[in-house]
A and B are shown apart, each in its own frame.
Chain A
Amino acid sequence: MDSALIPKGVKRCSLGKFTLVIAVAGAVLLWGVYAMLLCWIKGLNQTNMNNYYGFALWIWADLAVIALGGGAFFTGFLKYIVGKDELKHIINYAVLIGFICYSSALLILAIDIGQPLRGWFIFWHANIHSMLTEVAFCLTCYFGVLTIEYVPLVLENRQLNKVPFFHNLAHNMHGIMAVFAATGAFLSFFHQGSLGGVAGVLFGRPFGYREGVFAWPWTFFLFTWSAAAYGPSFTLMCTKILEKASGKQLVKDNVVDLLAKISGWMILTYIIAKIADTIYWALVTAPSKGHTLMDFYSNNPVYGIWILVLEIVIGGIIPAIILVTPRTRRNGYLRMAAIILGVIGVCANRWVMVLQVMAVPVMPFDFWAMYYPSWQEVATTILPVAYGIILIALSYRYLPIFPQEPELNPVD
């Protein structure tokens, strides 16, 4: 029924089956929208946040989703600036994932603030010394860049491309995409970094605080690095999921191998830097404030050394070794296992740097602030996942996301 919209040279499932997928994801989306509206209409008392624990589950999701969406800027940087031309076969999907991730992040922020209608004050009354200001500006601008990168893809829909203006516009945008990619990489460097800076500048919270260079704590650079490292892994994970769902190979092995190799080396170099930073913080910074390492990992029901091991060993060292070693990287199962562990690792890092910071007591007579999310928080956190599934489903069905798909799956 909608075959006129489907790209030439590829096959898609029946419209009925497709509608079912959209309906199921849509139901989850609606649940999330309901929770979102409750938060906007009734206020943040719908969550389990309190005056000791002011950051919710969705803030972790916000940071995680921005880190994972880092595949967009880094793949763009590798393709357009460094010149890794093979990545042109996966860059469209990376951009789509990035678009979903960043639009979700902005939505979450709109829900999280106490006065959403005043959200524009962060631009109008900007305190340029605040890390969060830098986050807001660069996030918004980079989302603009992602939209600019996604629009030509939409305009390449079979029917839209017939309109001469749309065709010419898409063609011209592709022509100067390197300019947008470079600007996007510049903006990403800063907002990924300043998200790390959000925790790193808190000199009142020894668990999060890091020394650094000039105004930038070391977490600034570590966050940018980890986003560039783990983002491509997430792109590969999403590619695998879509391949499983569609029953087709969408990208050639050499492209996957290249991106996995780059991701592996980035993770390896990142984790070495992270270990060095953790050691310095544990042996110098924290003791200068009167804390030992175990102060942050004991006397509470949840946070133990296990989370440090999860983040650095299971989520860092192991996937790095698997991905940099050609033999293990070329084994599909090991590669996917490494990618999944990497995604878990970066999510654990974002949890630690935002949510564990809030839990750790600072005044000696104070207590650990334990927290569990309310259903409204869970629903609004799952909302971006449902939205992502819907947008990926729509884009995959109607847009030429994967240039190698017709070659890998010839249609009679």
Chain B
Amino acid sequence: MKKAVDHTKPKRYGMVIDLDKCTGCGACMVACFAENNIPFKKDESEKLLSITWMRVYKLSNKKKYPDTDICYLPRPCMHCEGHEGHSPCVSVCPATVTDYSTETGIVSQIYTRCFGCRYCMAACPYHARYFNWWDPIWPKGMEKMLSPDVSVRMRGVVEKCSFCYHRYQRAKDKAYVEGRPDIEEEEYQTACTQACPARAITFGDLNNPKHKVYELKQDPHAFRLLERLGTNPKVYYVSSREWVRKSGDNYLRHEEPGHIETKH
């Protein structure tokens, strides 16, 4: 099947999350669950078995009162670019289920092709990938409320945040119908971005100077998680607090964030 030729410039969709604004309310998580038909069990107390495409971590500076400080960190999939499109998960998938798109920068997943080897889960240092240990069972009546644009996954396959790719497709379709070659910033926004009451999450094309994320990512206090590994993630975090920035990566005792000698 031939793909329609896209004459627009390649995009790199990404996020900038202001950790000084995040209150840890979890609205982003709930919005993601609803938008993407995330399955759940009756008993979700075993958190390591829960599927949380967006997950809010609680960080602490581990100091005693009165210097204790905490920070909430929302973690979607990082949609790592790696080195020239070699995301850690994309390189290892044996059945070409996951792919890095050079047009959007989004790492996709073909649920119907995944046979559940979980190698991609081993490769991901952010634990952004989740396995369907059970088949989804929707409470009676809920199957009518499922998001129609997002396919439901079955037992035995891996899933992860897609940057609400179905919304990108919907925006592209709308632009096509209206005779526009490209979509506007506000036409494609992820569910978590829109749900955040503190407006901590900003989403857009990191390549496009007209998008808010383009400027925000250049903040001197911006950092990415585990940058030293070479994953080249597309989610930037911003915090005025140095301990928060230092929590974004592993450092040897003598190293300071931002002053690392990198080999590659």
Contact = CB atoms under 8 A, between A and B. Distances in A.
Whether both chains belong to one complex is answered with yes
B98 to A, nearest CB: 9
B133 to A, nearest CB: 4
Contacts, number: 163
A201 B91 contact: yes
Q: Please classify the interface of chain B as helix (H, G, I), strand (E, B), loop, or mixed, using the class held by over half of its residues.
A: loop
B76 to A, nearest CB: 14
A325 interface: no
B250 A291 contact: yes
A126 B94 CA distance: 6
Residue among A203, A205, A357 with max Cβ neighbours from chain B (10 Å): A203
A51 B247 contact: no
Interface of B: 46, 48-51, 57, 59, 73, 88, 91-97, 113-119, 121-127, 129-135, 154-158, 225-226, 228-231, 246-252, 255, 260, 262-263
Nearest to A211: B263
Nearest to B121: A54
A124 B97 CA distance: 12
Interface in A277-298: 287-292, 295
B122 A127 contact: no
Given A51-B49, A51-B130, A362 B91 contact: no
Contact of B251 (A203, A206, A290): A290
Given A125-B96, A132-B117, A206 B229 contact: yes
B49 to A, nearest CB: 5
Contacts of B251: 290
Contacts of B132: 114
Contact of B94 (A53, A133, A206, A290): A133
A205 B119 CA distance: 12
A204 B124 contact: yes
29 contacts: A43-B133, A43-B155, A44-B116, A45-B49, A51-B48, A51-B49, A51-B51, A113-B115, A113-B117, A113-B156, A114-B114, A114-B115, A114-B157, A115-B116, A115-B155, A115-B156, A124-B95, A130-B93, A132-B94, A132-B119, A202-B123, A203-B230, A204-B229, A288-B262, A290-B250, A290-B251, A290-B255, A363-B226, A365-B57
A125 B95 contact: yes
A365 B127 CA distance: 12
Contacts of B250: 206, 289-291, 295, 362, 364
Given A55-B122, A130-B93, A288 B228 contact: yes
Interface SS of chain A: loop
Given A121-B113, A203-B88, A291-B250, A126 B46 contact: no
B156 A129 contact: no
Chain A interface residue bracket vs B: 35 or more
B179 to A, nearest CB: 37
Contacts of B157: 114-115
A288 B263 contact: yes
Given A113-B116, A126-B95, 20 more contacts: A44-B133, A45-B134, A51-B131, A52-B48, A113-B117, A114-B157, A115-B156, A121-B115, A130-B94, A131-B92, A132-B119, A202-B88, A203-B231, A204-B124, A204-B126, A292-B252, A362-B126, A364-B246, A364-B249, A365-B59
Nearest to B97: A125
Contacts of A205: 122-123, 125
A358 interface: yes
A285 to B, nearest CB: 9
A17 interface: no
Contacts of B88: 202-204
Contacts of B263: 288
Contacts of A358: 122
Given A44-B133, A119-B115, A204-B123, A127 B93 contact: yes
A133 B95 CA distance: 8
Interface in A125-183: 125-127, 129-133, 136
A365 B228 contact: no
A366 interface: yes
Contacts of A327: none
A122 B91 CA distance: 14
Contacts of B51: 51
A295 B228 CA distance: 16
A220 B119 CA distance: 17
A50 interface: yes
Contacts of A203: 88, 229-231
A365 B115 CA distance: 31
A201 B251 CA distance: 22
A131 to B, nearest CB: 7
A125 B114 CA distance: 10
Nearest 3 Cβ contacts at the A-B interface? A114-B116, A114-B156, A290-B250
Contact of A130 (B46, B73, B119, B130): B119
Nearest to B98: A127
B247 A290 contact: no
B156 A362 contact: no
Contacts of A206: 229, 250
B92 A201 contact: yes
Contacts of B91: 129-130, 201
Interface string A347-375: 00000000001100011111001000000
B61 to A, nearest CB: 11
Contact of A118 (B115, B229, B231): B115
A36 interface: no
